[in-house]
Amino acid sequence: MTDSQLTHLDANGDISMVDVSAKTPTHRTATATGQVIFPANIYQAIKTADGMTKKGSITQTAHIAGVMASKRTHELIPLCHQLPLDGVKIAFAYDDENHSINVTATTKVTHKTGVEMEALTAVSVACLTIYDMTKALSHDIIINDIKLLQKTGGKSDYASN
């Protein structure tokens, strides 16, 4: 990989925020996913309780945390642009085979730069929130497989294999 392929380095190799001023705004979306894996007995207890703990609903709390995080991505990742998000959707699914709660986030914007980091941040913080909500039950919880599933808009579209 050469420095010219890294968009956050200028011609001198110095860190630089990408200048998007000459770009035309387009509709952009991104979807990311992640997984919170539990010991089998803890997973079963969480599922049986429909995600309710003494602290409240795991998924409702994680949903709010994920949305809030996506809107603050530019404050967490130094060279990200602040984006006026058009939408953030977060979904949760129980996975009996893997004893996990799978998290998916889709972000949308009409802007000059993409929303991949916002989708990845939403998933990451939602997974961390699930961990925080359930750590009293076990510390043998694994956050796994956070990745971008797809993006549309901008120079090119992307879909993971």
Which position among 10, 86, 132, 145 bears the catalytic label? 132
CA end-to-end distance (rounded Å), the chain? 22
Q: Which residues contact 48 (CB under 8 A, 6 or more apart)?
A: none
Give the residue among 66, 71, 69, 47 at the shortest CA–CA distance from 134. Answer: 47
Specify whether 145 is catalytic. no
State the Cα angle at 40 between 36 and 45, rounded to 5°: 85
**Mind telling me the catalytic residues?**
132
